Structure 1
Amino acid sequence: MTSDADTRSQRPESQELRAAPIGPGSLTWKHFGDIRGLLYLGRAGTLQNMHPAVSGALQDHSNFFDNPLDRLFRSLPPIYGVIYDQHDRGTGTVVRNFHKDLKGIDETGQRYHALAPDTFWWTHVTFFEVLLDFNERFAYKKFTPAQKDQVIREAVTWWRCYGLTDRPAFDDYASFQTYWEDMLDNQLINTQTTQWSSRISEHRIAPAPGVPPWLWKIIGRPTTVAANWLTKALMPEKARAILEWEWTARDQRIYTWFARAMTMTDRFWHLLPPRLRYAPRAYAGIRKQGL
């Protein structure tokens, strides 16, 4: 299991990684703040929570089980900010410091710290992997091999905003694929956190931010049921197997039609004004650049 002592992905500090800028004109700048990425909230969060250390931090140090939607919507804007804020604002340092006191013993009996490089790198990967997976599933125009490498190298620059070691990082798509499969095959488990969140529609949870309690009583359960299905639909097949999630032929047919509609929409998405295409924190950064 991954722990503070994990050395499986150690990289000599002297080995220089190739990195690419993440400012205007980069693939990350263009795609990460896209509002459609919110479809991946459940997927990215679940993949993170399958890591025992991340699950342990949520159990020991957060309000996730009382108000999971608050955590999701509170955590995401600063992540956007690392990309779209002014660099001198140090948003990456702010995000890193949120995690500096999160430590303990996870459910496998291993010591964890949220800033252990291998742990923090995994959460970082689940964010930039959204660009790759969304493009592969839904984009009308797919990334070329060179663009996939570029996404990874921009992610190195993004990672360095947090001020952590480069040791667990890599700088090409082939290395990403190897890492991703190893995490799914050997590192991730069905944690207590993912077991709870898999049944989120059965729990009484606080309303989503900005939704009146009276309205949440009406839409809360349908919303969480739909979100659970979407998370299941977007989840890698190996992850669904680890979580013991059923995926039926009917589910696949519905997903196929959904994917076709998303791809058709992508052909015209760029025609919408940026304020409609980007999340608020991302759009604020775009406006500051005069774009």
Structure 2
Amino acid sequence: MNRKDGQEQEAISRVAPEAGLLLGAGRAILLQLAHPQIGRAIAEHSDFAANPLSRLIHTLSYIYALSNGTAAQQRTIIAYVDAAHRPVRGTRNPRSGEPAYSALDPKLQLWVAATLYDSARVIAGQILDEKVQDQEELYLQYARLGNALQMPADWWPESLTAFSRYLAQMEPSLRVTEQTRALADELFAGRSAPWWIRIGLPLMRDVTIAQLPALVREDFGYELTAGIQKRNARVIRVVRLATKICPKFIRHAPMRLMLRHIQKMA
């Protein structure tokens, strides 16, 4: 684990395991789909359409391993992700103007890591009581999500202020296509998901729509209705209360499941 004897637990090790942060998972995935190169790579080189939750499972496994896993678990998931990324590449399509891409491109890995941190930050700000002074520490520690792969360490913006500038610079380049819009629909339909996950997907869709940046939300064709706003507020209130009163054993259950999943991959 990342906790060291006699030292305070790292911010990322405290925050990342909180089950309430799963409310931001849909937001992070849609922000990734909205990136032209990443969206095309997911559409052409994954089983996202048939099994959209698989990306979520592997992403969670990666986050939990790097925040709270053993050295062996971290090596296992990094090797898995690296091997999965290696063949993912495509050339520019001159007819449609679709860009070339490679999953080993550090710029794309930076964006994926950025969506994971930003979505965790957005939800944590609503359901957790994390100290303000820990925010910069948490931000800097999230850099390891990109650093563990091909992203150079100095590519992660040096501060939260610099990170906000990076997000603002990236937003105009995001573009949702019919293909990526269809993938988002598949994510929330969850046709291959177990029933106990499928019944929660309509609420997850509402929360995701409410939490997305306005321009990205509109590009996906979503409307932030009064009903969606009310359901999002209700979910946030319930999860915030649950985070306060539920013991850590329950709140960290998804992390334990994912770490056991990694153990079986070794």
2 CA distance for matches of 1:118 and 1:98? Answer: 17
Q: Which amino acid aligns with 2:181?
A: Q
Question: Is contact 2:207-2:228 (8 Å) kept?
Answer: no
The aligned counterpart of 1:71 is 55
The aligned counterpart of 1:130 is 119
Q: 1:80 aligns with which of 59, 64, 70?
A: 64
1 CA distance for matches of 2:251 and 2:14? Answer: 14
The aligned counterpart of 2:212 is 235
Task: Point out the structure with the larger helix share.
Answer: 2
CA displacement, residues 13-61 of structure 1 (integer Å, 9 cap, x when unaligned): xxxxxxxxx9221111111122222222211111111111111111211
Instruction: Indicate whether 1:35 and 2:19 are aligned.
Output: yes
Question: Is contact 1:48-1:123 (8 Å) kept?
Answer: yes
Q: Which amino acid aligns with 2:2?
A: G
The aligned counterpart of 1:183 is 170
Alignment of 1:194-213 (within 5 A): 194-200=180-186, 206-208=191-193, 211=194
- Number of residue pairs matched by the alignment: 251
Query: Alignment partner of 1:23: what SS?
Result: coil
Unaligned runs of 5+ in 2: 4-8, 261-266
Higher Rg:
1
RMSD: 2.9
Query: Alignment partner of 1:279: what SS?
Result: helix
Residues 259 and 114 of structure 1: CA distance in aligned 2, closer, same or farther (over 3 Å): same
TM-score normalised by structure 1 residue count: 0.74
Residues 69 and 137 of structure 1: CA distance in aligned 2, closer, same or farther (over 3 Å): same
Residues 31 and 193 of structure 1: CA distance in aligned 2, closer, same or farther (over 3 Å): farther
1 CA distance for matches of 2:89 and 2:256? Answer: 29
Alignment of 1:93-172 (within 5 A): 93-105=79-91, 108-139=97-128, 141-144=129-132, 146-172=133-159
Question: Is contact 1:54-1:119 (8 Å) kept?
Answer: yes
TM-score normalised by structure 2 residue count: 0.81
Q: CA deviation at 1:77?
A: 1.6
- Out of 68-77 and 95-104, give the one that drifted further: 68-77
